[in-house]
């Protein structure tokens, strides 16, 4: 059976169950390539890249910069190498879309000799933002030419300023700890807090890493959960406070994104919270009144397309993201660039 299939993996380990599913669904299909989401590409990798042992070694060096994601992303690559030897694999980086931002957006104000080691602002959730930028011309033809903030709000949360479809600023920086509060991460944090934890609380680096990646954000503020659904269903005042804080910080950072853009024409909600929480969207839009944002309650409750009232001076939209589709597209493009031949794929056994 001549049937080509590209498998886009976002970090799940490919095992016998998936192989069996492919065999049962597609019979004698060949896997031509496997695409992976890899959170951090560092200073070296600014576009999707076919994985080699050297690339894999470079990406392992970046694990301390994305400890929640990078190890599992790379473990998936190694698992596929064992299961489907010889099949090309493509690493698609969440940092790539933000490369090429203005120098003032990328710089970290440390001595230059420190920054030469790759210490800079990278930005993340790039596959999601790239997808949104790719579909905006279809769902909102007037917006791609304008100044747009895209809010990727989920357990991991960030915002990106798009000008003519390109990233010019992001709330995340050197690591995925920066910017907005998240499910278990604090977002923007005075570096002095880390020094205080080291010096006064006698915490070591491992303890601080565990705290910052696993115990802060909505979970730390509420003392209940890192899940917005749990907090919205709770009568505990701390749950409400955590939600209010999240909306407050989104609005504050929206002001920063708008400043980078020189104004604002549209605001797009995406990802788990952005797509599925009318309550959180309402909280946030209320705080964007200075931009003339006015929500249509009925459209917001429906949660699709434009949710702006006719009187709103900016467009407000809910656009579902599709990072897996971007991975598949990049994987195909990388194979085409390498002039890979379909006959080189591995038949599913």
Residues with catalytic function: 94
Q: How far is CA 43 from CA 59, 70, 120, in A?
A: 11, 15, 8
DSSP conformation letters of 9-32: ESSPPP-HHHHHHHHHHHTT-EEE
DSSP 133: H
Other Cβ atoms closer than 10 A to 111? 8
Beta-sheet strands, E only, within the chain? 4-9, 30-38, 49-50, 89-93, 147-153, 157-163, 166-170, 266-270, 305-306, 315-318, 346-347
DSSP 304: S
Which H or E element spans position 170? strand 166-170
Could you tell me which of 131, 137, 104, 157 has the C-alpha nearest to residue 327? 131
């Amino acid at each position: 059976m001549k049937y080509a299939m590209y498998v886009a993996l976002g970090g799940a380990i490919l095992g016998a169950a998936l192989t069996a599913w492919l065999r049962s669904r597609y019979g004698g299909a060949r896997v031509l390539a496997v695409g992976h989401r890899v959170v951090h590409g560092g200073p070296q990798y600014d576009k999707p890249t076919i994985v080699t042992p050297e690339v894999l070694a470079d990406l392992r060096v970046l694990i301390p910069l994305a400890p929640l994601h990078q190890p599992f992303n790379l473990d998936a690559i190694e698992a596929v190498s064992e299961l489907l030897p010889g099949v090309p694999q493509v690493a698609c980086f969440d940092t790539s879309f933000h490369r090429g931002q203005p120098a003032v957006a990328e710089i970290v104000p440390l001595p230059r000799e420190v920054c030469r080691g790759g210490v800079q602002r990278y930005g993340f959730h790039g596959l999601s933002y790239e997808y949104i930028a790719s579909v905006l011309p279809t769902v909102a033809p007037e917006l791609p030419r304008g100044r747009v903030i895209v809010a990727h709000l989920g357990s991991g949360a960030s915002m990106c300023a798009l000008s003519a479809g390109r990233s010019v600023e992001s709330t995340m920086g050197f690591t995925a700890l920066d910017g907005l509060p998240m499910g278990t991460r604090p977002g923007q944090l005075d570096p002095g807090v880390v020094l205080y934890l080291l010096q006064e609380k006698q915490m070591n680096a491992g303890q601080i890493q565990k705290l910052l990646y696993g115990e802060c954000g909505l979970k730390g503020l509420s003392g209940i959960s890192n899940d917005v659904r749990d907090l919205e269903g709770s009568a505990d005042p701390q749950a409400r406070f955590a939600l209010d804080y999240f909306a407050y910080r989104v609005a504050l950072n929206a002001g920063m994104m708008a400043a980078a853009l020189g104004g604002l024409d549209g605001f797009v909600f995406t990802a788990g919270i952005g797509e599925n929480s009318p309550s959180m969207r309402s909280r946030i839009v209320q705080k964007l009144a200075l931009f003339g944002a006015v929500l249509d309650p009925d459209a917001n409750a429906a949660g699709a397309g434009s949710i702006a009232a006719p009187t709103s001076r900016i467009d407000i939209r809910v656009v579902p993201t599709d990072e897996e589709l971007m991975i598949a597209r990049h994987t195909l493009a990388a194979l085409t660039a390498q002039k890979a031949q379909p006959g080189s794929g591995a038949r599913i056994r």
